[in-house]
A = this chain, B = another copy of it.
Amino acid sequence: MDVSKFAKKELLAMGGGSSTRAAVTPDPKLINLGAGDPDFNQPNFINKAVYDAMKQGHTHYEFTGVPEFKNAIAKYYAKYGVKIDPNTQLCIDSGGSQAIFRAFGAILNPGDEIILLDPAYQGYFQPAAYFGAKMVRVAMKKDKKGLWRPDVPAIAKACTPKTKAIMICSPDNPTGAVYTEKELKALADVCIDKDILCISDEIYTEFIWGRKKFIPTMSIKGMEDRTLALMSFSKTFAWTGCRAGYTIASPEFSTLLNNVPIGIIGMPVPFQYAGAAALEKGWGFVRKMRKEYKKRIDFSVKRLNEIKGIKCAYPEGTFYVFPDISEVGMPAAKFGQELLLQEKLRGAPGTGYGQAAEGHIRFALVDKMDRLEDAWNRVEHFVKKNGKK
């Protein structure tokens, strides 16, 4: 039966899943640095909190969210200088990916424009396409250190009367950039001047390196009412399979978000109780992960830069490295494909994030040090064998 006759038209125009999510045939030799799935397991007190909540009978509808969870979120975000009302400024979702879908689904009509930077996390593309929006890509620019920065003047130029919002990510996946206050202020000027929203993906907040500081977009003057801040537990608490996300917004936008009828309850009730416990007692675990990621980044950046033809900037945030492989003389997609075939090492080619990231590949540092050492040896071997002579 030809189902295309019945399909929502935007769905027909959409492609399949993204490369980092492809099912991988189990292969003991494979090192998978493709998806951003932490190799840490959440501490058992979180598992126990889920179990306890269930044993206490918290397995029934709680239509307006678990107050303990909402209060814990408000308390957490206040740490970064933004005070919110947990009752009116939150929307709870089944993971960050659902928060993206909901945010887009609250505002995008077919034909609306949304500005996405290039490169940008590919999880934005399908929801934007699904809602029939036009993605206007604005290339980021590399600074002297080789770090990608948002190009605010170019963003301003890309705005049209059809622009509804700009989507940013700070700390940024895949580039590792953490937006400075100056950048955020300049961006705020554009948002206010052009009367557009900022959807601010902040899920890597807890993973920032060196002296950089996380600044919530909502803390910038004038952005209180026009920011939708997307958060998730997936990276913060290595909670990718448990699905927890939320959006912080003005009361008016929160109402709008909550009205998108995705489902009665965004996140299983026992997990909401466990989420409150994680936000209260999970920071030792986060520190442990942070320390380990830092070690991996230090090692990986140094080691990758030793490989001829590869330049790897030190990320300001996230647990990704995004080396420039352009001197190897192979398109990123082919580099990724051949690296997997020849060396059994999976990374995510830059072009999956946008055309501006041709000549780059993202590696998620979600494996142990000895495995990473092995991985970079494979990259070296691969480049020597396949690179421009």
> A365 to nearest B CB, angstroms?
16
Classify the interface of chain A: helix, strand, loop or mixed: loop
Knowing A37-B60, A94-B94 touch, does A101 contact B261 (C-beta < 8 A)?
yes
Q: Is the CB of A1 within 8 A of B250?
A: yes
Q: Is the CB of B59 within 8 A of A256?
A: no
What residue of chain B has the Cβ atom nearest to residue A228's Cβ? B6
Q: Is the CB of B242 within 8 A of A269?
A: yes
Q: Which of B23, B59, B97, B260 contacts A130 (CB 8 A)?
A: B260
Q: Does A225 contact B (CB under 8 A)?
A: yes
Q: How large is the interface on A (under 10, 10 to 19, 20 to 34, 35 or more residues)?
A: 35 or more
Q: Is the CB of A8 within 8 A of B108?
A: yes
Residue of A60, A238, A252 most packed against chain B (CB within 10 A): A60
What residues on B are CB-neighbors of A225 within 8 Å? 1
> A163 to nearest B CB, angstroms?
11
Knowing A101-B262, A263-B95, A268-B241 touch, does A8 contact B109 (C-beta < 8 A)?
yes
CA distance A59 to B7 in the complex (A): 33
> A244 to nearest B CB, angstroms?
9
CA distance A101 to B58 in the complex (A): 25
Residue of A54, A98, A238 most packed against chain B (CB within 10 A): A54
Q: Is the CB of B23 within 8 A of A63?
A: yes
Q: Is the CB of B259 within 8 A of A11?
A: yes
Q: Does A253 contact B (CB under 8 A)?
A: yes
CA distance A11 to B225 in the complex (A): 19
Q: Does A219 contact B (CB under 8 A)?
A: no
Q: Is the CB of A55 within 8 A of B61?
A: no
What residues on B are CB-neighbors of A252 within 8 Å? 1, 3
Q: Does A42 contact B (CB under 8 A)?
A: yes
Q: Is the CB of A265 within 8 A of B241?
A: yes
Q: Is the CB of A256 within 8 A of B7?
A: yes
Q: Is the CB of A57 within 8 A of B41?
A: yes
Q: Which of B48, B61, B64, B109 contacts A37 (CB 8 A)?
A: B61
Interface 0/1 of A35-51, CB less than 8 Å to B: 10110011010111011
Q: Is the CB of B98 within 8 A of A3?
A: no
Q: Does A362 contact B (CB under 8 A)?
A: no
Q: Does A62 contact B (CB under 8 A)?
A: yes
Knowing A97-B263, A265-B95 touch, does A54 contact B59 (C-beta < 8 A)?
no
What residues on B are CB-neighbors of A23 within 8 Å? 63-64
Residue of A93, A97, A107, A259 most packed against chain B (CB within 10 A): A259
Knowing A8-B107, A42-B59, A130-B260 touch, does A226 contact B1 (C-beta < 8 A)?
yes
> A288 to nearest B CB, angstroms?
16
Q: Is the CB of B6 within 8 A of A109?
A: no
Q: Does A239 contact B (CB under 8 A)?
A: yes
A interface, CB within 8 angstroms of B: 1, 3, 5-9, 11, 14, 16-17, 21, 23, 35, 37-38, 41-42, 44, 46-48, 50-51, 54-55, 57-64, 93-95, 97-98, 101, 105-109, 123, 126-127, 130-131, 164-165, 195, 197, 225-226, 238-243, 250, 252-253, 256, 259-271
